[in-house]
A and B are shown apart, each in its own frame.
Chain A
Amino acid sequence: MSATAGETQSRQAQAEKPKKASLVVLSGDMDRVMAAFIIATSAAAAGMEVTMFFTFWGLKALKKNVRTGKTFFGRMLGLMYGGDINKLNPSRFSFFGLGRWMFKKMMKNHRVATLPELRQMAVDLGVKLLACQMSMDVMEFPRESLIDELTDVVGAATFVSEAAESDFTLFI
């Protein structure tokens, strides 16, 4: 006897169920966030269901260019780590913003999509963008300070449940 009916069925179910990918974006570095969006859009373009969970520094990739912070420390953070996705600095050669400017120019010269373009592409491809509730509380980034395209504000357990069903998981 070859495969049982149950095995055949589960194989069929497997073939029909789309593959899944989940990414944690902890980093707020331009290069890392870029890698995250490139992998996420590539996976979505290959028909995968993709979830990106943005936490801590990664939240800046979802921020609007607005002032944040209620407490003294929160306002300080809002000042020092303010701005939106365009204000992310590379992990190396930052040079107080000069590195960001240089890499943006180099990427433009090589016709690489910009970070806002990549993020919009991810939205258009149906990538789920989740923000970490706890990090938002700590950093005093209210929901209104994040982009409207955000899918949901969730906790780690939601990510774990997505990751448990995923074919690959990345921590960036």
Chain B
Amino acid sequence: MADEFKVDLSLDLRGLACPLPVVRVGKSIKDVPVGGIVEAIATDPGALADFPAWAKTTGHEILKTERNGADIKFYIRRVK
């Protein structure tokens, strides 16, 4: 458990396939204030590459990636 982050929004993206996880995060990041943190759980293995790529394009920051079985959990900070 990463209790080190104060999460503003949690997204359950389990079972969703490309491009839905990234599209949902792209929409939801606007719902937290700048500096806020979104926690997203995906099961699409492609997300492991896609979330960092999305962050690179948007300029948002992936603080941490955790794997727990099939679950991949990202902590994303809204930068701008």
- A45 engages B17 (CB within 8 Å): no
Say whether chain A's binding surface is mostly helix, strand, loop, or mixed. Answer: loop
The interface size of chain B toward A, counting residues with CB under 8 Å, comes to: 15
| Other-chain residue from B19, B27, B54, B58 in contact with A38 (beta carbon distance below 8 A) | B19
Do B58 and A47 touch across chains, with their CB atoms under 8 A apart?
Answer: yes
Contact A121 B15 (CB under 8 A): no
A47 to B79, CA, bound (A): 13
Interface of B: prevailing SS: helix
B42 to chain A, nearest CB (A): 12
| Chain A hits for B22, CB < 8 A | 42, 45-46
Which of A48, A113, A125 counts the most B-chain CB atoms under 10 A from its CB?
A113
The count of chain A contact residues (Cβ–Cβ below 8 Å) is 16
Cβ contacts under 8 Å, B15 to chain A: 111
**B18 & A45 in contact (Cβ 8 Å cutoff):** no
Chain B hits for A45, CB < 8 A: 19, 22-23, 25-27, 54
Interface contact A125-B57, CB-CB below 8 Å: no
B contact residues around A121 at 8 Å (CB): 23
A48/B17 in contact, CB under 8 A: no
Asked if B57 contacts A46 (CB within 8 A), the reply is yes
Return chain B residues, CB-CB under 8 Å to A113. Answer: 17, 19-20
Beta-carbon contacts of B11-35 to A below 8 Å, as 1s and 0s?
Answer: 0000111111011011100000000
Cβ-closest chain A residue relative to B18:
A38
Q: What are some 23 contacts across the A-B interface (CB < 8 A)?
A: A38-B19, A42-B18, A42-B19, A42-B22, A42-B23, A42-B54, A44-B23, A44-B26, A45-B22, A45-B23, A45-B25, A45-B27, A45-B54, A46-B22, A46-B54, A111-B15, A111-B17, A112-B18, A113-B19, A121-B23, A124-B27, A125-B26, A125-B27
Measured CB to CB, the residues of B under 8 A from A are 15-20, 22-23, 25-27, 50, 54, 57-58
